[in-house]
Amino acid sequence: MKSYLAAAIQMTSLPDLQKNLVQAEELIDLAVRRGAELVSLPENFSFMGEEEEKIAQAEAIGLESEKFLKTMAQRFQVTILGGGFPVPTPGGKVYNTCLLVDPNGTEVARYRKVHLFDVDVPDGITYRESNTVKAGEDLPSVYVSPELGTLGLSVCYDVRFPEVYRHLSYKGADILFVPAAFTAYTGKDHWKVLLQARAIENTCYAIAPAQTGHHYGRRQTHGHAMIVDPWGVVLADAGEEPGVAIAEINPDRLEQVRRQMPSLQHRVFI
């Protein structure tokens, strides 16, 4: 593993596949021009609209999203995480799918979101992700890259379930991806502290691309795509506008924190 720059992209995705892919490409280009070798896109990067509309277009969205990720990875010669897009299931629902693609355009890891956001948020909005999404059944995998380190996948609501990240750290993760479309209401109180907690307790970097702003209807997201170091220090924060958070992933820093705070070695219950 070497030192390199990673990017957490922040988008305002809409119910328009092509417009979203244009926005994503522009932000990937910006990240690469700033030196990023590992680029991550948020949950719902390719489509963010009403659930019925998403289901109706799911096959096209899924195919175009996967093709886009592979094309961008090859074109820019970087590793890209697509943080979440719908892939149809035989039962009429979709998997909320996270995909990691290497610079050759080859899929190296795939994760189907396990924890679905069925929540009555105190701002009066109710979310029922399970109405259209089928929960994944497998623990997220890690991908071991000689240059980039061991990368662990998750999606959004997973961040509230620390056992997911303990599993990833047990598998050797150096970096925890948390691509998200966090609600504006919950994000202001929980987003940053949850990311810091997951990074600190697992002595890992956390890379969290995010959605921001107004998408459709009453749907608003928190923004603040960020990169957090293993000590819990926020290295980069994209704020509330579309853009890119970029920071160095440094193996020496990782080793230093794990040496000074060897909590993973002190685990009693695994």
Amino acid at 81: L
Among this protein's residues, is 43 annotated catalytic? yes
Among this protein's residues, is 113 annotated catalytic? yes
The answer to whether 46 and 89 are in contact (CB under 8 A) is no
The position carrying tokens 């980039």 is 148
The answer to whether 61 and 46 are in contact (CB under 8 A) is yes
Q: One of 37, 43, 64, 66 is an active-site residue; which one?
A: 43
- Distance set, CA 119 to CA 42, 131, 193, 208, 253 (Å): 20, 12, 19, 21, 37
The answer to whether 226 and 57 are in contact (CB under 8 A) is no
Among this protein's residues, is 156 annotated catalytic? yes
Q: One of 37, 66, 156, 204 is an active-site residue; which one?
A: 156
Distance in angstroms (rounded) separating the CA atoms of residues 249 and 101 = 19
Three-class SS of residue 19? helix
Q: One of 37, 64, 98, 113 is an active-site residue; which one?
A: 113
Catalytic site residues? Answer: 43, 113, 156
